[in-house]
Amino acid sequence: MVGAGISTPSGIPDFRSPGSGLYSNLLQYNIPYPEAIFELEFFFHNPKPFFTLAKQLYPGNYRPNITHYFFRLLHDKGLLLRLYTQNIDGLERVSGIPVSKLVEAHGTFASATCTVCRRSFPEKDWWADVMMDRVPCCPVCAGIVKPDIVFFGEPLPERFLLHVLDFPMADLLLILGTSLEVEPFASLSEAVGASVPRLLINRDLVGTFAWRPRSRDVVQLGDVVHSVERLVELLGWTKELQDLVQRETRKLDGQDR
């Protein structure tokens, strides 16, 4: 389970912190409060701030860091049952983890849906509009085309239901870079069996690790990159991870050219 904290080392700030790059960019639009950007009522009143954020998070503006590649390595080794993410930056996909291994619990910019006729559109159909600061509209009914990001009050993607099968099967739960404050995601941390070890890597103690710890919990507080490097070292995978990061970085450099 991961959250915004795994992407801060990639340069993506918390949306809520005033003064951060993403938030400051939105001030020009007079949004009443940061969360409004993910509220349908405000979106229909003024969709521009949301699309400004979408443009900012465009694949290529940011790159995965060693944390994302650690999960990719787990996948390559056949050890990753699933990666549940709250992030909407798409960096798990960029790191090469197949979509089948992901549950993007708060949605994705990879697809979009017309808010009126509910037709679905792949990103190639509407990204050009977003990049040119235009609000994308449905070619059939002229409704606003909204990327499939989960707004407040909207249901989570159907794939989230996979947790019912996944969590009882897990024999280790890794939780990185999340405040475990947003439900229903946060409660997944309790969905593994009572004897299953849970490892929390985060800057601070969060969720049930603080108020209902289990006997097999392990907590590593501090910076996520430093902690992942330490874990990888203990596993004896340092060279393998470095090689993977180098290979993938070269690929991304090639795509940028």
Query: Binding site for Zn(2+), residues?
Result: 114, 117, 138, 141
The DSSP letter of residue 192 is S
* 106 touches ligand CNA (CB under 6 A): yes
Query: Could you give the count of Cα atoms lying within 13 Å of 81 in the half-sphere of its Cβ?
Result: 15
Choose the binding region for ligand CNA from 45-53, 85-93, 131-139, 210-218 (rule: CB under 6 A): 85-93
Q: Among 5, 34, 47, 207, which residue sits at the site for ligand CNA (rule: CB under 6 A)?
A: 5
Helix (H, G, I), strand (E, B) or coil at 97: coil
223 binds ligand CNA (CB under 6 A): yes
Q: Would you list which residues are annotated within the binding site for NAD(+)?
A: 4-8, 14-16, 86-89, 178-179, 202-204
Position 95 contacts ligand CNA (CB under 6 A): no
Select the residue interacting with ligand CNA from 41, 171, 181, 253 (CB under 6 A): 181
**8 part of the interface to ligand CNA, by CB under 6 A:** yes
* Region from 12-20, 119-127, 212-220, 246-254 binding ligand CNA, contact rule CB under 6 A: 12-20
- Total residues contacting ligand CNA by CB under 6 A comes to 25
Active site residue 226: no
Q: Which of 49, 68, 89, 104 binds ligand CNA (CB under 6 A)?
A: 89
Among 1, 4, 26, 192, binds ligand CNA (CB under 6 A): 4
Please enumerate in sequence order all residues whose Cβ is within 8 A of that of 173, keeping only pairs 6 or more positions apart, or say none: 1, 167, 189, 192, 196, 197, 198, 199
* Cβ atoms within 10 Å, residue 105: 23
Please check whether residue 192 is in contact with residue 170, taking contact to mean a CB–CB distance below 8 angstroms.
Answer: yes
For the chain, strand residue ranges (E) read 83-85, 102-104, 107-114, 120-122, 145-149, 173-176, 198-202, 218-221
Q: In the sheet where 120-122 sits, what is the strand order?
A: 120-122, 107-114, 145-149
Sign of CA dihedral 129, 93, 10, 205: positive
156 DSSP 8-state letter: P
Of the residues 49, 136, 177, 207, which one makes contact with ligand CNA according to CB under 6 A: 177
Token pair 């699309």: residue? 51
Rounded to the nearest whole angstrom, what is the least distance from the CB of residue 4 to ligand CNA in the complex? 3
Q: Which of 145, 202, 209, 228 binds ligand CNA (CB under 6 A)?
A: 202
Comparing CA positions, the residue from 103, 75, 78, 245 lying closest to residue 167 is: 103
Cα–Cα distance, 186 to 211 (Å, whole number): 13
Applying CB under 6 A, the span of 11-19, 43-51, 76-84, 112-120 interacting with ligand CNA comes to 11-19
| Summary count for the chain: helices (H), strands (E) | 10, 8
Q: Binding site: residue ranges? A: 4-8, 14-16, 86-89, 114, 117, 138, 141, 178-179, 202-204
Residues classed as catalytic? 106
What residues make contact with ligand CNA under the rule CB under 6 A?
3-5, 7-9, 12, 14-15, 86-89, 106, 177-179, 181-182, 202-204, 206, 223-224
